Structure 1
């Protein structure tokens, strides 16, 4: 009888211990432990981060950080941190959270377009991934990389085709740059390369010319016609005489790219810069801007015509009047000059 009581007591204690252990396991591992109302939250873990860095981000997201700490130690997460962008979903348990931030690095979509300089692009990308703008700029302008892949400091911007791309948040500066080189080579497929060759232009020349086309007109449907004007000029050996290149040259010479120049003055045409297509013939030494794909394809698929001149159409804003002769162009230009003078635009 005595032994039986002992066995019963042991059994009761065992059940109590098991119940406590089960409760502990449920509380520490399986019980929902999120404290936010949104469906999900993201945790960004920097390269070489310590557990304290991760914990700092988790504190406002969790109801009981102490239980999370205990499980993180037990599962050895606190000594094996992984960098990346991770999701914590509403009502996740500590166990699910650890599994997520340990091994489920989620890529994100980055986007960029219409940057004027490689420095601007580096700054835009730095807002979207872990790498800072200085390391990105250093990587993008690395002389060895540029030379190996057929670029120069002046043409480096041409390698970045405006679009949205999927990358990991913790992608390094070199990793981002190398991915963009692959995307550049993918963009320049056999069809586009054949069209560029037919124009006697390199891909970089096409992009440099597309940058001018993009700046000249925001109307996508007009870009092939504008591209045709410049290609006609190139074929005839005429200077491009593109106002956007003069504006870029003035900004570059002054070092002030924040300037807003709405009107090109005669004195601007004397700016001694290879980017000034009034003073120097041919395509500028590099793109003055990051053109949209529509502008690049407009050059590759130019509209065939006999126009050599164009000026803003004051009766159809956004579009231009095109001319085959200089006399016709001068008449169109006088109409534009009268209009802009009435607007009081001096600079």
Structure 2
């Protein structure tokens, strides 16, 4: 009987040792927790077109894994070495190889990056901001915004997408495709520009491009919500009287070294966008206006003002006659001189 139990014990040990060994290896390969570069986890960027080997280099360099070998073996066993999604990942502390591989394949730990786009920015500036935040190609974004095929694909009748990239704070994954960025911004504009706004535009006998051209001028003139509709009303009054708009932002738009303080000679700069030289609205938007300026262009304030000038305190003074306007200009210049003298005294 003792011999039977001894043989049985040896068989159990003989069979159990390989089982424990296999279990230990599997734990080591698949489930053993990885280290973390910090108490909150590790952030790793996987660029476009990265092979699994490149992704492995990024993970190793960031200190997100304990062993390149074990992660590589685990990936080959489960086929994850052909399933890596681009993006910036944040892995929590103690993540196992298997969980990390599943994450790289699904992208579930990718970080959404908030990209704020200010109102009144041109598409070149917008493209540069996306390049800075998302490491995308700004030149490609601008090129696509000027591509007639891309523009027609959105059902837009305009030479570029300037004016149709709605300012807002957007969330994208790192290195999102450039066409997806553009599509998101244009679709945001379309979602905002509902049927009631289209009907209002038609009541005013404007095209969409003309509406955005006026809105962009309003955007360039003031950042104060309380003034937008008043400024829009000034330009509407000038249009009705067949007066040139004489809008400074349209000159700033075409200056090679702008935007900067305008000189009198700049007002003679030859361009179809220069509303000091040409009557009516410019050929298209000079920037991408925000919701407030678009609504102001469609619902201008009803008044008789024809002129306005800065007050020097952040707002504008509106005038009905040219004589009133000249007086307001003189007041502004006096205030500006006083502010310059105060600034000089503070620095001296």
Give the TM bin, normalised by the shorter chain: 0.7 to 0.9
Deviation at 1:67, TM superposition (A): 2.1
Show the counterpart of 1:298.
296
CA distance in 2: counterparts of 1:303 and 1:95, whole angstroms: 63
Show the counterpart of 1:17.
18
Count of residue pairs the alignment pairs up: 335
Matched, 1:111 2:110: no
CA distance in 2: counterparts of 1:135 and 1:261, whole angstroms: 27
Alignment of 1:191-202 (within 5 A): 191-202=196-207
Distance change >3 Å, CA 75–CA 189, structure 1 → 2: same
Q: Secondary structure at the match of 1:226?
A: helix
Show the counterpart of 2:322.
326
Alignment of 1:7-46 (within 5 A): 7-46=8-47
Q: Where has structure 1 moved over 4 Å in runs of 4 or more?
A: 1-4, 341-345
The two structures have a TM-score, normalised by structure 2, of 0.86
Q: Secondary structure at the match of 1:91?
A: coil
Structure 2: 5+ residue stretches without partners: 342-348
Alignment of 1:155-234 (within 5 A): 155-234=160-239
Deviation at 1:115, TM superposition (A): 6.0
Q: Secondary structure at the match of 1:332?
A: helix
Structure 1: 5+ residue stretches without partners: none
Deviation at 1:187, TM superposition (A): 1.8
Alignment of 1:70-81 (within 5 A): 70-81=73-84
Whether the aligned pair in 2 keeps the contact of 1:72 and 1:78 (CA below 8 Å) is yes
Deviation at 1:64, TM superposition (A): 2.9
CA distance in 2: counterparts of 1:38 and 1:195, whole angstroms: 55
Alignment of 1:269-308 (within 5 A): 269-308=267-306
Deviation at 1:102, TM superposition (A): 0.9
Q: 1:63 aligns with which of 63, 66, 73?
A: 66
Q: Secondary structure at the match of 1:156?
A: coil
Whether the aligned pair in 2 keeps the contact of 1:87 and 1:101 (CA below 8 Å) is no
Distance change >3 Å, CA 234–CA 40, structure 1 → 2: farther
Q: Secondary structure at the match of 2:217?
A: helix
Deviation at 1:100, TM superposition (A): 0.7
CA distance in 2: counterparts of 1:245 and 1:79, whole angstroms: 52
Cα-to-partner distance string for 1:19-72 (whole Å, 9 max, x where unaligned): 222222222222211322242434333333211210111112223333222212
CA distance in 1: counterparts of 2:85 and 2:236, whole angstroms: 52
Show the counterpart of 1:150.
156
Deviation at 1:170, TM superposition (A): 4.5
CA distance in 1: counterparts of 2:134 and 2:141, whole angstroms: 10
Deviation at 1:137, TM superposition (A): 2.4
Deviation at 1:329, TM superposition (A): 1.2
CA distance in 1: counterparts of 2:279 and 2:166, whole angstroms: 26
CA distance in 1: counterparts of 2:202 and 2:117, whole angstroms: 27
Q: Secondary structure at the match of 1:87?
A: strand
Show the counterpart of 1:127.
132
The RMSD of aligned alpha carbons is: 2.5
Whether the aligned pair in 2 keeps the contact of 1:309 and 1:325 (CA below 8 Å) is yes
Cα-to-partner distance string for 1:238-264 (whole Å, 9 max, x where unaligned): 111112222223x1xxx334xx522x3
Deviation at 1:7, TM superposition (A): 3.2
The two structures have a TM-score, normalised by structure 1, of 0.87
